[in-house]
Amino acid sequence: MKGVLRKIFHEVRWPVLFFSVGLAIIMALLTALLPKVLGDIDKVFEKLPFIKPIITALLGMDPGDGFTAQMMQAFLWVHPTVLSIIWAHELMYCSRMPAAEVDRGSIDFLLGLPISRWRLYLAETIGWLISGATIICVGVSGHLIASSMLQPQMRPGAFAIFCVVANLFAVYLAVGGISFLVSASSDRRGRAIGIMFAILLVSFLLNFLAQFWQPAKQVSFLSVMEYYRPAAVIQSGSFPWFDVGTLCGIAFVAWLSAGIVFRRRSICTV
């Protein structure tokens, strides 16, 4: 497995570095700028009432009449740029094995070596977990550096940040697990990424529509975003066991299914 891990490292080290640094910069900027941008959010709500459902959808809860400083920081964790960077890495990474390998034909080289498909898949999984943890940790460090420059009452507590990061990583696991499953069933990387992008978009829209459309609310449990509510976590200060558990459950089932599909399927590159 060491050889496969070395190959993965060769392939993903630069993208992971770029995504990590990018996320750190974005999170630092958002941490510093959000209080200024959202300072007059009540007036924005009055002038542009349609903004409120968008913010509500992004936060996963109704911010109520007043935005606290810490609630503003919650907006950072659901900002589309932050989620986009994490998911872009995830879609690129999880579509590598086997979809991209089959697509470019290089899987013949890998499968010609004495390593089982399960081991290949485990090596990819290790790379996925480490790269995801790296990107999120470096991103969080950007946030922490920037928040150290804010007034103390504007910073969420360390435990709250830990809970939100855990919730975000659980989302990363769930999205990655589903991406692996789509990739394992596909021979084309573009198709796998397209399907995953559509799933994420529907998930995002469902979560958004559920705020003001009853039919969407009834099926919003299908959206992974339903289980990611940083504002509620920061407000309550308690660990989101149910959300994290649900996301980890989705991740495990999807990841295991992907492994089984990859183990059993015929690989055709010609």
Binding site for another protein (CB under 8 A): 1-4, 6-7, 10-11, 104-106, 108-109, 111-116, 119, 264-270
Shortest Å, Cβ 176 to another protein: 22
Q: How far is the CB of 262 from another protein (least distance, A)?
A: 12
Residues 82 and 139: beta-carbon distance below 8 Å: yes
DSSP for the chain? -HHHHHHHHHHHHHHHHHHHHHHHHHHHHHHHHHHHHSTTHHHHHHH-TTHHHHHHHHHTS---S---HHHHHHHHHT-HHHHHHHHHHHHHHHTIIIIIHHHHTTHHHHHTSS--HHHHHHHHHHHHHHHHHHHHHHHHHHHHHHHTTS-GGGSPPHHHHHHHHHHHHHHHHHHHHHHHHHHHT-S-HHHHHHHHHHHHHHHHHHHHHTTT-HHHHHTGGGSGGGG--HHHHHHH-S--HHHHHHHHHHHHHHHHHHHHHHHHS-----
Min dist CB 266 to another protein, Å, is 4
- Our CB check for another protein shows the closer of 1 and 198 to be 1
Shortest distance, position 128 Cβ to another protein, whole Å: 18
The CA-atom distances, in angstroms, between 183 and each of 59, 110, 226 are 30, 17, 24
| CA angle at 85 for the pair 28 and 236, rounded to the nearest 5° | 60
Query: Cβ distance 227 to 170 under 8 Å?
Result: yes
CB nearer to another protein: give 1 or 133: 1
Q: State which residue, 3 or 64, has the beta carbon closest to another protein.
A: 3
For another protein, give the closer residue by CB, 199 or 267.
Answer: 267
Instruction: Between 112 and 152, name the residue whose CB sits nearer to another protein.
Output: 112
CB of 96 to another protein, least distance (A): 11
Residue 113 CB, nearest approach to another protein (Å):
5
Smallest gap from residue 114 Cβ to another protein (A): 4
- Which C-beta is closer to another protein: that of 4 or that of 173? 4
Q: Which is nearer to another protein, 54 or 263 (CB)?
A: 263
